């Protein structure tokens, strides 16, 4: 049996010295453990449990280059990339392939949050304390990431601090060879801290890229975090992302995963709600055309009583695209008064598009209110007809209805300007227009 | 009339509640007789009360008795010789033995599946006897052995036709053998074949050969392979073209002998434009050991035909500590082969230590309809992993799934289902609703649905909720003088009503009583 994992294990074994030499010291400890876990791991193939539509083995099979010696591969200067949100001033940072860079505007005085690379961080104790504590190595992708990770981005918001500006992180792929980037992000919000993080994924050039990303998020007591992720990559990009969140008492977290254009994407969201009185919002949307493949997999673990969670994922699938969603709400024993909802609504707009959905509930406590709903269907024929009788052409009517369909995910965005921007982007996406900002390098 | 002043026993109250909810004539009558007796004679009343209380106390599992008729049991263990022996005991033709052996050899290559949300211990397949036949003392097959008849009378299944009120044809299966099939002659007039599968193999080999294994091949899964190798008996139904079966057909399964497994096989074929409603019931004695029940049900529905299959499953669930009980591992599948055909599954699951079954429908024809209605109640340490599969292959096919889970005690209750719409199956429609009710904080309720849609003209909806019993409703009942326990019974019956309505009348009464009884002692 052909096992794609082997090439990565071999790479690790043969280049361990080089990997460690260019790695942040805090990452070395877990590397061996991850290596051990991978020894017996098997990459799930299409059709196996929780991988109904996605073939991880095939996704990891190509021979990607890994930048072990951490050479700066980027060819462009940072200023040329723009991911502007009108009327929104952000602290802007970049990750070029796997190298962290700050923009001229970022990190100006008075900005209390610290956004730094693992290697250059002024808070090595925070990194050492939290690195690898949220992500679990039983997830093969996370283990692979942990085995190969050398650097990453640490976003640290100290106790009681509220960031004034949203933190924006732009991941860019830009290389002249097939490349895999091992990306790692650690976000630590201490008690009563507040932050908004916006992450965008872009690719440049016609190379095949693989983004192997693990994001760990620790949210302290009564802290509040908004985490928006927007993927606008291209058809050559494979993205395997694991996002792990740990919520402590009274915290409020919004995770929003938006896939506008992509190649082959698998996003895993694992949220552990460890404290009481937490609020969790998990939103997502995908608009897929062509051969796009979007697979979102979510797990919300309610480990503490008296919490609320709300989850909604929406897909519009066209052409030969494949959409997949699997979500699970798990309520542990002795966790009463949980109010959880999970929704998945999908529009299949072409006869050749496919949708797989698996909404799940696993409940071990009686005093809870949990429900889920999943639908796969089409646009309402009567609404389309009504609009046509009012002189709106069919394509426009369809676009309007799809835009409206996405509105409850868009409305969930808690940043006004970003919400407007997203609405605009969705509109452009649905009309097939380019979504790249005028002045951006990506607009060739 | 002073009935209100008469101190009613707990049982009587609960009966009254049920009767007001469902207007169940039979139970109301029973209730009235209790009242009359109370009025007539005080001493008698006392005795009656005692007997009712006794009855209520032993109500926990009232089918738990063991009948002591002699049974032929072949020695424990499973190998090719045992398969040959079973075939030989049943005087089977060569082709069937071949079928069994092929299945057995395939089974040997398989391992016990582990994916269910049940805690299945390793079953020692060599510690089970695969064939047990009750010995009939009378040689004439027309006459039923009095001991057997007594057993079925105790179960409330009269086999003698003159005693029948409802006009239901019954096929009774004890352990491995079908002991009696009633009403055969009357059905034969219409061309309906209703007999045990062993008889069908002899009398209608062509039909059996044509259909057996066509819906559930022996390669399907571990237990299907096991069943195909060692199946002993079961029912065979064939409804000819254009015939509407005039009565409910019913088979009744009973495991009696210890350390045996029951492996029955049911095959139902509804030819063009026919209709049949088929009921299945089952019980087993109370024992400390776990017994295995691995059945296969295959249903073939041809053009414009309709089959309604109802189950009230009440195998012995084990005692309150989870000791003993039946492992109910069943493969049930039907195919709507012809256009405009319909298959409807209704099940009420209250028994078994472990239930693992997914009555499924393959909607192959165009404009076909599949339905699945289920109530699964688990308590103590029972585990149930049940649901359905709707495979839409035909255009304009429709399916409805309503599943109601109730978990009490330390039980685990899961719904697992799949709705699949093939790319060519345009304009399909599915609606799924699965609700879970939790009655204790130590029980679990889970939902694992899978939806796969391969085209842009089908609509699939899934809805699920999990919650505990509504405290306002209990409070309201308490206010009206209804004890909490009875209120729970009332609410649960109301909650399960969508499914109960789909059961044939006689069965609905039984199922409702079963729900209330099963709930006793599981509140608080």
A399 in any annotated domain: yes
> Chain B closest CA to A325's CA: distance in Å?
10
User: B 418-447 residues with CB below 8 A of A?
Assistant: 423, 426, 436, 438-447
pLDDT digits (tens, 9 = 90+) for A196-206: 999 988 888 77
Query: Between chains, do A360 and B446 touch, taking CB under 8 Å as contact?
Result: yes
Predicted local distance difference test score (pLDDT) of residue A108: 61
SS3 per-residue string spanning A192-212: CCEEEEEEEEEEECCCCEEEE
Residues of B in contact with A333 (CB under 8 A): 441-442
A442 in any annotated domain: no
pLDDT higher than 80, residue B181: no
Least trusted range by pLDDT, from A89-98, A303-312, B413-422: A89-98
Cα–Cα nearest to A395, from A346, A349, A347, A345: A349
- Residue B219 C-beta-side C-alpha neighbours within 13 Å: 1
Please state, in angstroms and rounded to a whole number, the distance separating the CA atoms of residues B369 and B396: 9
Q: B76-100: buried (b, 16+ CB within 10 Å) or exposed (e) per residue?
A: eebeeebbeebbebbebeeebbebb
pLDDT higher than 50, residue B502: yes
Residue A290 token pair: 């062509």
Query: Between chains, do A348 and B450 touch, taking CB under 8 Å as contact?
Result: no
Q: Measure the CA dihedral A71/A75/A80/A85, to 10°.
A: -50
Instruction: Report the domain count for chain A.
Output: 1
Task: Report chain A's mean pLDDT, rounded to a whole number.
Answer: 86
Q: What is the average per-residue pLDDT within A46-75?
A: 78
pLDDT digits (tens, 9 = 90+) for B371-422: 999 888 888 888 888 889 999 999 999 999 999 888 888 888 888 888 999 9
Q: Does residue B78 or residue B358 have the better pLDDT?
A: B358
Query: Between chains, do A363 and B445 touch, taking CB under 8 Å as contact?
Result: yes
Please state, in angstroms and rounded to a whole number, the distance separating the CA atoms of residues B274 and A402: 45
- Residue A135 C-beta-side C-alpha neighbours within 13 Å: 29
Q: Is A91 part of the contact surface with chain B (CB cutoff 8 Å)?
A: no
Residues of B in contact with A352 (CB under 8 A): 423
> Chain B closest CA to A380's CA: distance in Å?
11
> Chain B closest CA to A39's CA: distance in Å?
23
Q: Is A50 part of the contact surface with chain B (CB cutoff 8 Å)?
A: no
Residue of A nearest to B462 (CA): A374
pLDDT digits (tens, 9 = 90+) for B435-489: 888 888 888 888 888 888 888 888 888 888 888 888 888 899 999 999 888 888 8
Q: Is B448 part of the contact surface with chain A (CB cutoff 8 Å)?
A: yes
Residue B152 token pair: 């079925």
Predicted local distance difference test score (pLDDT) of residue B304: 92
pLDDT digits (tens, 9 = 90+) for B28-84: 333 333 333 444 444 554 555 455 444 444 456 666 666 666 666 777 778 888 888
pLDDT digits (tens, 9 = 90+) for A106-163: 666 566 788 888 888 888 899 999 998 999 888 889 999 999 888 899 999 999 888 8
Q: Calculate ∠ Cα B78-B83-B88, nearest 5°.
A: 140
pLDDT higher than 70, residue A442: no
Least trusted range by pLDDT, from A308-317, B2-11, B97-106: B2-11
Q: Is B470 part of the contact surface with chain A (CB cutoff 8 Å)?
A: no
Identify from B461, B464, B491, B523 which residue to disrupt to test chain A contact, counting A C-beta atoms within 10 A and taking the largest count: B464
pLDDT higher than 70, residue B196: yes
Check if the beta carbon of residue A433 is closer than 8 Å to that of residue A426.
Answer: no
Check if the beta carbon of residue B488 is closer than 8 Å to that of residue B523.
Answer: yes
Residues of A in contact with B446 (CB under 8 A): 360-363
Between B441, B443, B456, which is nearest A351 by CB?
Answer: B456
- pLDDT band for position B139 (cuts 50, 70, 90): very low
Least trusted range by pLDDT, from A85-89, A120-124, A423-427, B360-364: A85-89
pLDDT higher than 80, residue B206: yes
pLDDT higher than 90, residue A389: yes
Residues of A in contact with B403 (CB under 8 A): none
Query: Between chains, do A366 and B441 touch, taking CB under 8 Å as contact?
Result: yes
Residue B226 token pair: 């096991």
- pLDDT band for position A87 (cuts 50, 70, 90): low
Query: Between chains, do A354 and B453 touch, taking CB under 8 Å as contact?
Result: yes
Length of chain A, please? 444
Predicted local distance difference test score (pLDDT) of residue B95: 86
Q: Is A305 part of the contact surface with chain B (CB cutoff 8 Å)?
A: no
- The neighbouring-strand residues paired with A259 are A231, A286
Residue ranges per domain, chain B? 10-58
Q: What percent of chain B has pLDDT over 90?
A: 12
A236 in any annotated domain: yes
Q: What is the average per-residue pLDDT within B323-343?
A: 87
Predicted local distance difference test score (pLDDT) of residue A214: 93
Residues of A in contact with B447 (CB under 8 A): 359-362, 372
A440 in any annotated domain: no
Predicted local distance difference test score (pLDDT) of residue A345: 92
pLDDT higher than 60, residue B214: yes
Predicted local distance difference test score (pLDDT) of residue B491: 86
- Host domain of residue A14: 5-431
Q: Is A376 part of the contact surface with chain B (CB cutoff 8 Å)?
A: yes
Please state, in angstroms and rounded to a whole number, the distance separating the CA atoms of residues B290 and B288: 7
pLDDT higher than 80, residue A438: no
Predicted local distance difference test score (pLDDT) of residue B107: 86
Predicted local distance difference test score (pLDDT) of residue B67: 64
pLDDT digits (tens, 9 = 90+) for B273-299: 999 888 887 666 666 667 788 888 999
pLDDT digits (tens, 9 = 90+) for A164-190: 888 888 888 887 788 888 999 999 999
Task: Report chain B's mean pLDDT, rounded to a whole number.
Answer: 75
Q: Does residue A244 or residue B142 have the better pLDDT?
A: A244
A296 in any annotated domain: yes
Residue of A nearest to B450 (CA): A358
Q: Measure the CA dihedral B16/B378/B63/B123, to 10°.
A: 180
A248 in any annotated domain: yes
- pLDDT band for position B12 (cuts 50, 70, 90): very low
Residue of A nearest to B444 (CA): A364
Q: Is A357 part of the contact surface with chain B (CB cutoff 8 Å)?
A: yes
pLDDT higher than 70, residue B176: no
Stated pTM of the model = 0.78
Query: Between chains, do A373 and B460 touch, taking CB under 8 Å as contact?
Result: no
């Amino acid at each position: 049996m052909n096992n794609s994992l082997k090439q990565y294990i071999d790479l690790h074994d043969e280049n361990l010295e080089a990997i460690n030499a260019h790695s942040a010291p805090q990452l070395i400890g877990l590397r061996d453990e991850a290596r051990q876990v991978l020894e017996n791991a098997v990459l799930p193939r299409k059709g196996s449990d929780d991988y109904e539509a996605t073939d991880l083995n095939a996704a990891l099979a190509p021979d990607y280059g890994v930048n072990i010696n951490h050479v700066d591969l980027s060819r462009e200067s940072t200023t040329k990339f723009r991911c502007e949100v009108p009327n929104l001033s952000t602290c802007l940072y970049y990750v070029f392939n796997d190298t962290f860079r700050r923009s001229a505007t970022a990190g100006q005085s008075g900005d209390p949050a610290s956004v730094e690379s693992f290697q250059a961080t002024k808070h090595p104790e925070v990194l050492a304390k939290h690195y690898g504590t949220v992500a679990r190595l039983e997830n093969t992708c996370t283990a692979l990431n942990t085995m190969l990770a050398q650097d990453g981005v640490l976003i640290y918001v100290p106790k009681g601090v509220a960031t004034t500006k949203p933190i924006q992180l732009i991941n860019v792929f830009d290389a002249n060879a097939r490349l895999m980037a091992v990306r790692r992000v650690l976000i630590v919000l201490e008690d009563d801290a507040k932050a908004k993080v916006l992450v965008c994924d872009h690719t440049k050039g016609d190379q095949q890229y693989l983004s192997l990303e693990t994001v760990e998020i620790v949210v302290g007591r009564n802290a509040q975090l908004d985490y928006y992720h927007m993927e606008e990559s291209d058809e050559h990009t494979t993205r395997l992302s694991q996002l792990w969140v740990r919520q402590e008492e009274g915290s409020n977290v919004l995770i929003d995963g938006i896939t506008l254009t992509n190649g082959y994407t698998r996003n895993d969201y694992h949220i552990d709600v460890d404290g009481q009185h937490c609020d969790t919002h998990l939103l997502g949307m995908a608009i897929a055309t062509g051969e796009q493949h979007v697979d979102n997999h979510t797990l919300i673990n309610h480990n503490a009583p008296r919490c609320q969670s709300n989850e909604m994922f929406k897909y519009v699938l066209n052409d030969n695209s494949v959409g997949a969603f699997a979500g699970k709400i798990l309520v542990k024993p002795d966790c009463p008064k949980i109010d959880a909802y999970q929704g998945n609504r999908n529009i299949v707009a072409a006869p050749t598009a496919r949708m797989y959905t698996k909404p799940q509930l696993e409940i071990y406590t009686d005093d809870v209110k949990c429900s889920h709903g999943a639908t796969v269907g089409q646009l309402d024929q009567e609404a389309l007809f009504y609009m046509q009788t009012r002189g709106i052409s069919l394509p426009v009517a369809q676009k309007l209805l799809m835009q409206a369909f996405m509105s409850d995910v868009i409305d969930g965005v808690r940043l006004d300007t970003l919400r407007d921007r997203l609405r605009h982007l969705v509109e452009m996406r649905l009309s097939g227009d380019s979504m790249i900002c005028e002045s951006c390098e990506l607009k060739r | 009339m002073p009935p209100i002043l008469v101190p009613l026993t707990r049982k009587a109250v609960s009966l009254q509640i049920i009767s007001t909810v469902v207007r169940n004539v039979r139970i109301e009558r029973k209730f009235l007789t209790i009242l009359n007796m109370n009025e007539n004679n005080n001493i008698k009343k006392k005795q009656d009360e005692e007997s009712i209380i006794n009855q209520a106390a032993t109500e926990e599992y009232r089918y738990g008795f063991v009948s002591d008729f002699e049974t032929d049991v072949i020695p424990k263990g499973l190998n090719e010789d045992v398969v040959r022996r079973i075939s030989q005991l049943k005087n089977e033709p060569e082709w069937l033995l071949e079928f069994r052996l092929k299945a057995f050899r395939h089974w040997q290559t398989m391992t016990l599946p582990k994916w269910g949300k049940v805690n299945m211990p390793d079953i020692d397949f060599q510690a089970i006897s695969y064939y047990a036949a009750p010995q009939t003392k009378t040689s004439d097959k027309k006459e039923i052995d009095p001991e057997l008849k007594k057993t079925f009378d105790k179960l409330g299944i009269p086999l003698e036709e003159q005693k029948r009120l409802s006009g239901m044809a019954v096929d009774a299966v004890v352990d491995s053998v079908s002991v009696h099939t009633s009403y055969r002659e009357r059905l034969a007039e219409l061309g309906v074949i209703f007999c045990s599968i062993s008889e069908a193999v002899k009398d209608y080999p062509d039909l059996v050969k044509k259909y057996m294994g066509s819906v559930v091949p022996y390669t399907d899964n571990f237990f299907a392979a096991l069943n195909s190798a060692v199946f002993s008996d079961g029912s065979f139904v064939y409804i000819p073209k254009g015939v509407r079966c005039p009565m409910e057909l019913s088979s009744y399964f009973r495991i009696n002998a210890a350390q045996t497994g029951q492996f029955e096989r049911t095959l139902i074929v509804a030819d063009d434009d026919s209709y049949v409603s088929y009921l299945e019931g089952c019980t087993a004695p109370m024992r400390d050991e776990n017994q295995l029940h691995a059945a296969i049900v295959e249903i073939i529905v041809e053009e414009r035909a309709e089959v309604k299959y109802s189950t009230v499953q009440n195998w012995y669930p084990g005692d309150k500590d989870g000791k003993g009980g039946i492992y109910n591992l069943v493969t049930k599948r039907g195919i709507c082969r012809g256009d405009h055909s319909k298959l409807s599954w209704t099940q009420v699951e209250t028994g078994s230590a472990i239930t693992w079954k997914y009555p499924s429908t393959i909607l192959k024809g165009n404009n076909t309809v599949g339905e699945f209605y289920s109530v699964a109640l688990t308590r103590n340490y029972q585990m149930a992993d049940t649901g359905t599969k709707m495979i839409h292959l035909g255009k304009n096919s429709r399916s409805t799934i309503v599943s109601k889970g109730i978990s009490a005690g330390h039980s685990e209750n899961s719904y697992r289902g799949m709705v699949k719409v093939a790319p060519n199956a345009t304009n399909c429609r599915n609606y799924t609703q699965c609700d879970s009710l939790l009655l204790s904080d130590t029980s679990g309720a889970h939902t694992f649905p899978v939806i796969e849609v391969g085209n842009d003209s089908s609509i699939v909806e899934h809805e699920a909720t999990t919650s505990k019993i509504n405290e306002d409703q209990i409070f309201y009942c308490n206010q009206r003088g209804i004890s909490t326990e009875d209120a729970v019974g009332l609410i649960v019956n109301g909650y399960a009503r969508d499914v109960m309505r789909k059961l044939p009348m006689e069965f609905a009464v039984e199922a409702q009583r079963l729900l209330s009884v099963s709930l006793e002692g599981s509140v608080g």
